[in-house]
Amino acid sequence: MSASLSPELILTFVGAGNMAEALVHGIIRAKLLPSQCLRVTDTDRRRLDHFQATFGVAGFECNVDGVRGAQIVVLAVKPSVMAEVAPEIGVALAPGALVISIAAGISTRRLEQRLPKGTRIVRVMPNMPALAGAGVSVYCLGSRATEDDVRLVESLFQSVGVVVRLDEKHLDAVTALSGSGPAYVFFLAEFMMQAGCEMGLDHATAKMLTLGTIRGATRLLEETGQAPEELRRRVTSKGGTTAAAFEVLEVGRVRETFIKAIRAAQKRSRELSG
């Protein structure tokens, strides 16, 4: 779904960082809203100039000025500044405005406590491939969000990838899996390339082979619908090269370590949620 939204709307991003940029790009590309309906706020004037020059989106150094009159406000600052930003914008929120928070680890309950009584809140956990229009975003609803809010949030985040609705109790797992997940794949790419170079390939060739392999394997998973373990079995013949690699991975308990790492990210997300 990417029906355009009412051109009367004003949508303000508080925090003009990477995620705000991905979303502004997606919204304009999908023609959901024209640039005149979008605003960004940031403490860094250079970021505002960048949004003006790249997208024709107006920038505000003062959050209150940027939020005044907006029907939708996306909180896109780091979680550490949310405690200061939420009450700050609260005073300028239009009655009936929807607040969408993409900050990791901040629950809808905590936001509801920090924003004016009755504010409708939707919490979304996007991920970094949104920058390439290939993100995965999971959202959950605050206690007052409506089905109209659902449609709006789905339209906005579908402009940068796929969107899934889940109960908030799953958001720490989501943060650990898809929020932090791109970094796990970057790590895999990093050491595959390192191994390629150590075996004598030049950097460009190692990179091309690594990225092509990750892309191809992902596409095969999607197109065949087969389980990863089944596809892995098909690549691994007894006594062959892949089997030799997996013997080392098993001795190194890589599966257990990886799962432990993802559970550590989930635990950290819970701690941040407070």
The residues binding ligand NAP (CB under 6 A) are 14-20, 41-44, 47, 63, 76-79, 81, 85, 102-104, 125-128, 179
Q: Whole-angstrom Cα distance, residue 27 to residue 55? A: 11
Residues 81 and 211: their CA atoms lie apart, in Å, by 35
Contact predicate 145/165, CB 8 Å: no
Measured from the CB of residue 85, what is the shortest distance to ligand NAP in angstroms? 5
Q: Classify strands 38-41 and 161-165 as parallel, antiparallel or unpaired.
A: unpaired
Nearer to ligand NAP, 5 or 20 (CB): 20
CB atoms closer than 10 angstroms to residue 86: 23
Place of tokens 């936001």: 111
Smallest distance, ligand NAP to C-beta of residue 126, A: 5
Looking at beta carbons only, is 18 or 224 nearer to ligand NAP?
A: 18
Please tell me the distance from the alpha carbon of residue 187 to that of residue 242, in angstroms, as a whole number. 20
Strand 120-125 with 135-141, pairing: antiparallel
In whole angstroms, the minimum distance from the beta carbon of 131 to ligand NAP comes to 8
Question: What is the residue-wise DSSP string for 79-102?
Answer: HHHHHHHHHHHHTTPPTT-EEEE-
Of 85 and 177, which has the nearer Cβ to ligand NAP? 85
Closer of 120 and 157 to ligand NAP (Cβ): 157
The closest residue (CB) to ligand NAP is: 17
Shortest distance in whole angstroms from residue 183 CB to ligand NAP: 8
Q: In angstroms, what is the minimal distance from the CB of 252 to ligand NAP?
A: 28
Nearer to ligand NAP, 32 or 102 (CB): 102
